[in-house]
């Protein structure tokens, strides 16, 4: 059976060994010990994959732990699968609500910005520099004393 060191898993997943030890302290993974060294099994590695994926999509560590621990219920994973489907549905609904809230906020901000831009334009009309009778911009002559 292939095993992994904490350094190997940290490098593979781009996380710190401290993070892996934290997941161990939270009892999300349970490596064996060989002296002072932690030895991680393929099961620990698979659980770490699921922990990181769960965190990325917004699950709490408690929710992740519940989903992972239900794997050990001896019912062919039916309980785990049903619970996970329920949690995924809840998370999808929450994210969809957040997206709707964000879209609504963006619409409000864009409308308010447009109103403010109109108000600002009314307070500070764009002024073009004055032209002399020959169409030259006053104050921008190459030779200020010359006249045509």
pLDDT at residue 74, rounded to an integer: 81
Domain ranges across the chain: 1-57, 73-123
Q: Given pLDDT bands bounded at 50, 70 and 90, which one contains residue 59?
A: very high
Domain 1-57 part of CATH 1.10.1660.10:
yes
pLDDT at residue 57, rounded to an integer: 94
pLDDT of 146 > 90? The answer is no
pLDDT at residue 134, rounded to an integer: 59
DSSP the chain: ---B-HHHHHHHHT--HHHHHHHHHTTS---EEETTEEEB-HHHHHHHHHHHHHHHTT--HHHHHHHHHGGGSTTTTHHHHHHHHHHHHHHHHHHHHHHHHHHHHHHHHHHHHHHHHHHHHHHS---PPPB-TTSPBTT--SSTT---
pTM over 0.75: no
């Amino acid at each position: 059976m292939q095993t992994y060191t904490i350094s190997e898993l940290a490098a593979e997943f781009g996380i710190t060994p401290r993070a892996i030890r934290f997941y161990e302290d939270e009892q999300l993974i349970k490596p064996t010990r060989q002296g002072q060294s932690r030895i991680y099994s393929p099961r620990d590695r698979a659980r770490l994959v699921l922990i990181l994926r769960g965190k990325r999509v917004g699950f709490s560590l408690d929710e992740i732990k519940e989903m992972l621990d239900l794997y050990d219920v001896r019912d062919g994973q039916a309980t785990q699968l049903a619970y996970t489907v329920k949690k995924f549905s809840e998370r999808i609904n929450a994210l969809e609500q957040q997206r709707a809230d964000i879209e609504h906020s963006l619409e409000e901000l864009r409308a308010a910005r447009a109103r403010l831009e109109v108000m600002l334009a009314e307070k500070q009309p764009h002024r073009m520099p004055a032209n002399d009778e020959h169409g030259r911009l006053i104050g921008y002559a190459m030779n200020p004393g010359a006249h045509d």
